[in-house]
Homo-oligomer: A and B are copies of this chain.
Amino acid sequence: MVPSEIRALFAMVARPEVVSLAGGAPYVSALPLDAVGEMIGGLVAGKGAEVLQYGSAQGDEVLREHICEVMSLEGVQASADDVVVTVGAQQALDLITKIFVDPGDVILAEAPSYVGALGTFAAYQADVVHVPLDEAGLIPSALRETLAHLRAQGRRVKFLYTVPTFQNPAGVTLTTARRAQVLEICAEYDVLVVEDNPYGLLGFDGEPMRALRADDAERVIYLGSFSKTIASGLRVGWVLAPHAVRAKLVLAAESAILCPSNFSQLAVREYLATQPWREQIKDFRELYRSRRDAMLESLDQLMPDGCSWTRPAGGFFVWLTLPEGLDSKAMAPRAIAERVAYVPGTGFYADGTGQRHMRLSYCFPEPHRIREGVRRLAGVVEQEIRLRDTFGDTGSAASTGVQTPGPDVV
Give A259 to B120 CA distance when docked, in angstroms.
13
Interface residues in A260-307 by Cβ distance below 8 A to B read 260-264, 267
Of the listed stretches A139-147, A230-238, A322-330, A331-339, name the one at the interface; the rest are far from the partner chain: A230-238
Of the listed stretches A87-95, A166-174, A206-214, name the one at the interface; the rest are far from the partner chain: A87-95
The answer to whether A233 touches B37, judged by C-beta atoms less than 8 angstroms apart, is no
Q: Indicate whether A352 reaches chain B with its CB closer than 8 angstroms.
A: no
Q: Indicate whether A28 reaches chain B with its CB closer than 8 angstroms.
A: yes
Interface string of A38-77 (1 = CB under 8 A from B): 1011111110111111111100000000000000000000
Of the listed stretches A156-164, A187-195, A400-408, name the one at the interface; the rest are far from the partner chain: A400-408
Interface string of A233-266 (1 = CB under 8 A from B): 1110000000000000001101111111111100
Q: Indicate whether A33 reaches chain B with its CB closer than 8 angstroms.
A: yes
Q: Indicate whether A148 reaches chain B with its CB closer than 8 angstroms.
A: no
Chain B residues with Cβ under 8 A from A235's Cβ?
257-261, 263-264
Q: A257: which of B31, B40, B88 is its contact (CB, 8 Å)?
A: B88
Q: Indicate whether A123 reaches chain B with its CB closer than 8 angstroms.
A: yes
Residue of B nearest to A120 (CB): B255
Q: Indicate whether A119 reaches chain B with its CB closer than 8 angstroms.
A: yes
Q: A52 with B258: in contact, given A252-B123, A264-B263 (CB under 8 Å)?
A: no
Q: Indicate whether A18 reaches chain B with its CB closer than 8 angstroms.
A: no
| Count of chain A residues with a beta carbon within 8 Å of a chain B beta carbon | 62
Give A34 to B49 CA distance when docked, in angstroms.
12
Chain B residues with Cβ under 8 A from A258's Cβ?
88, 90, 116, 235, 405, 407, 410
Residue of B nearest to A57 (CB): B407
Residue of B nearest to A42 (CB): B37
Q: A261 with B259: in contact, given A41-B40, A42-B41, A45-B33 (CB under 8 Å)?
A: no
The answer to whether A37 touches B33, judged by C-beta atoms less than 8 angstroms apart, is no
Classify the interface of chain A: helix, strand, loop or mixed: helix
The answer to whether B232 touches A54, judged by C-beta atoms less than 8 angstroms apart, is yes
The answer to whether A56 touches B254, judged by C-beta atoms less than 8 angstroms apart, is no
Can you name 19 A-B residue pairings with CB atoms under 8 Å? A28-B52, A36-B44, A37-B43, A37-B45, A37-B48, A38-B45, A54-B407, A55-B233, A57-B406, A90-B258, A94-B257, A119-B255, A120-B256, A231-B263, A234-B261, A234-B263, A235-B261, A258-B410, A259-B407
The answer to whether B45 touches A34, judged by C-beta atoms less than 8 angstroms apart, is yes
Q: Indicate whether A25 reaches chain B with its CB closer than 8 angstroms.
A: yes
Chain B residues with Cβ under 8 A from A56's Cβ?
407
Chain B residues with Cβ under 8 A from A38's Cβ?
41, 45
Q: Indicate whether A4 reaches chain B with its CB closer than 8 angstroms.
A: no
Give A255 to B98 CA distance when docked, in angstroms.
11
Q: Indicate whether A153 reaches chain B with its CB closer than 8 angstroms.
A: no
A270 smallest CB distance to B (angstroms):
12
The answer to whether B28 touches A53, judged by C-beta atoms less than 8 angstroms apart, is yes
Q: A406: which of B26, B36, B252, B254 is its contact (CB, 8 Å)?
A: B254
Residue of B nearest to A257 (CB): B87
Chain B residues with Cβ under 8 A from A408's Cβ?
54
Chain B residues with Cβ under 8 A from A260's Cβ?
87, 235
A345 smallest CB distance to B (angstroms):
20
The answer to whether B25 touches A48, judged by C-beta atoms less than 8 angstroms apart, is no
Give A116 to B119 CA distance when docked, in angstroms.
27
Chain B residues with Cβ under 8 A from A231's Cβ?
52-53, 263
Give A251 to B251 CA distance when docked, in angstroms.
23
Q: Indicate whether A390 reaches chain B with its CB closer than 8 angstroms.
A: no
The answer to whether B54 touches A33, judged by C-beta atoms less than 8 angstroms apart, is no
Give A87 to B235 CA distance when docked, in angstroms.
11
Give A326 to B43 CA distance when docked, in angstroms.
46
Give A253 to B236 CA distance when docked, in angstroms.
16
Chain B residues with Cβ under 8 A from A44's Cβ?
33, 36-37, 40-41
Give A406 to B54 CA distance when docked, in angstroms.
10
